Amino acid sequence: MTVVSEFNTVKKLVLHVLENYPETRNNDNKLFVRCAEILGINSLSGFENMDLNLISVYKLRQKIQNQENLYMPTENVRVLRKERQKGIKEYMSKGKVKATS
């Protein structure tokens, strides 16, 4: 069995990494790098033909932690993420975001 067939979906890969590498629960960059390492990606050019991208990993981590309540980050990170989310919502609601041309 190859690594690719074992983790035939990105979600399975992210679940595996979050379960087995607790340090990745607090840091999306660490999560993405560990996923890439498991798939055998060892250089930036290795991403050219892989079905792995940072946004997908980030969104899956959010879903796993926020909706499924699995492999949660530390309390400190939860508080920081909640504060950042609140700040973004406040900023957006004040109409400070302008379209660029």
**Residue 52: closest CA among 78, 19, 13:** 13
Band of residue 6 on the pLDDT scale cut at 50, 70, 90: low
Band of residue 1 on the pLDDT scale cut at 50, 70, 90: very low
Cα atoms found within 13 Å of the Cα of residue 38, Cβ hemisphere only: 23
pLDDT score of 60: 94
pLDDT score of 42: 87
Q: How far is CA 67 from CA 25, 50, 62, 81, 88, in A?
A: 15, 27, 8, 15, 20
Residue 7, pLDDT > 70, answer: no
Range among 4-18, 43-57, 61-75, 79-93 with highest mean pLDDT value: 61-75
pTM of the model: 0.77
